[in-house]
């Protein structure tokens, strides 16, 4: 479903120093599977999520990103979104003055238009919003606020998963979704993510710790270091990393 081949990327020279961050990432996530990417700080995990989503701050210098067989490496962020790629941000952005539901309805319909589908009606959208909010314990009051404004770190992460439920993407990238969450919030968020699991949907879970993975039970765990995937294995690899740390991969760092 998502195939990343020999992906090299650097910080866009216009935005700073010519700094290579991804140095040949190879990763394939088939439909229906959840893959985790773990690694020490600075290994390029978050950059990978931004590059997959099409952030202008990074430039792909080599390799390819294929999504359902299509090379999406040159597509705009909104074109990737319309194809079903959803990034749950490590730091969700506050957008004052734009109500959450207004924003999401616009986003949903922009994606539908881009796919040649009919727009969702306001009543259908509201019904869906109420159902999904209930699943995540999100109050009516939270939905009325501007996007992410005034939310705690944990609430923002919950709203990211709410957005994913509303937009029903084909593929989710969760970037450090566990950071800022206490144990109870982690459980709620994990349940929300698990509700999104199905045989047609893939997920890439980027995390520093194994605790979110205890709830999500990934099919494959990859270790990233020095801008590459250096080891892949089953869920037991996450526990091994938790016990032993990332020291043994230190030599891979550039």
Whichever of 20 and 168 has its CB closer to another protein, that residue is: 168
Whichever of 104 and 188 has its CB closer to another protein, that residue is: 104
Torsion of the alpha carbons at 237, 27, 22 and 172, rounded to the nearest 10: -90
Q: How far is the CB of 138 from another protein (least distance, A)?
A: 17
Q: How far is the CB of 108 from another protein (least distance, A)?
A: 7
Residues 203/220, Cβ–Cβ less than 8 Å: no
Whichever of 91 and 217 has its CB closer to another protein, that residue is: 91
Residue numbers at the binding site for another protein (CB under 8 A): 53-56, 76-78, 80-82, 86-87, 89, 92-98, 102-104, 106-108, 110-111, 114, 146, 163, 167
Whichever of 143 and 220 has its CB closer to another protein, that residue is: 143
Q: How far is the CB of 222 from another protein (least distance, A)?
A: 23
Q: Tell me how long the chain is.
A: 254
Q: How far is the CB of 121 from another protein (least distance, A)?
A: 15
SS3 of 131-195 = HHHHHCCCCHHHHHCEECCCCCHHHHHHHHHHHHHHHCCCEEEEECCCCCCCHHHHHHHHHHHHH
Q: How far is the CB of 119 from another protein (least distance, A)?
A: 12
Q: How far is the CB of 87 from another protein (least distance, A)?
A: 5
Whichever of 9 and 225 has its CB closer to another protein, that residue is: 9
Whichever of 107 and 142 has its CB closer to another protein, that residue is: 107
What is the layout of strands, in order, in the sheet containing 85-88? 85-88, 171-175, 202-207, 34-38, 220-225, 228-233
Q: How far is the CB of 244 from another protein (least distance, A)?
A: 35
Task: Give CA–CA dist 144/185, Å, rounded.
Answer: 21
Task: Give CA–CA dist 229/98, Å, rounded.
Answer: 39
Contacts 24+ apart (CB under 8 A), 210-214: 210/38, 210/238, 210/239, 210/241, 210/242, 211/178, 211/186, 212/177, 212/178, 212/186, 213/36, 213/238
Spacing of C-alpha 208 from chain mean position: 14
Whichever of 23 and 145 has its CB closer to another protein, that residue is: 145
């Amino acid at each position: 479903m998502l195939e990343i081949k020999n992906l090299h990327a650097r910080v866009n020279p216009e935005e700073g120093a010519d700094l290579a961050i991804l140095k040949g990432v190879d990763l394939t996530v088939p439909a229906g599977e959840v893959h985790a990417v773990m690694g020490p700080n600075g290994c390029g995990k978050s950059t990978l999520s931004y590059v997959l989503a099409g952030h202008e701050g990074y430039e792909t210098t080599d390799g390819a990103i294929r999504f359902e067989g299509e090379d999406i490496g040159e597509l705009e962020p909104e074109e990737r979104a319309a194809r079903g790629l959803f990034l749950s941000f490590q730091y969700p952005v506050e957008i004052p003055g734009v109500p959450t539901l207004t924003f999401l309805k616009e986003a949903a319909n922009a994606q539908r238009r881009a796919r040649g589908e009919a727009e969702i009606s306001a009543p259908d959208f509201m019904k869906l919003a109420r159902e999904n909010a209930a699943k995540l314990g999100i109050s009516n009051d939270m939905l009325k606020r501007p996007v992410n404004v005034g939310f705690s770190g944990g609430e923002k992460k919950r709203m990211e998963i709410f957005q994913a439920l509303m937009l029903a993407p084909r593929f989710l990238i969760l970037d450090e979704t566990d950071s800022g969450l206490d144990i109870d919030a982690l459980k709620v968020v994990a349940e929300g993510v698990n509700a999104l699991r199905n045989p047609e949907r893939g997920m890439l879970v980027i995390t520093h710790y194994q605790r979110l993975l205890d709830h999500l039970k990934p099919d494959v765990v990859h270790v990233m270091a020095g801008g590459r995937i250096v080891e892949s294995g089953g869920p037991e690899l996450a526990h091994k990393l938790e016990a032993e740390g990332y020291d043994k991969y230190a030599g891979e760092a550039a």
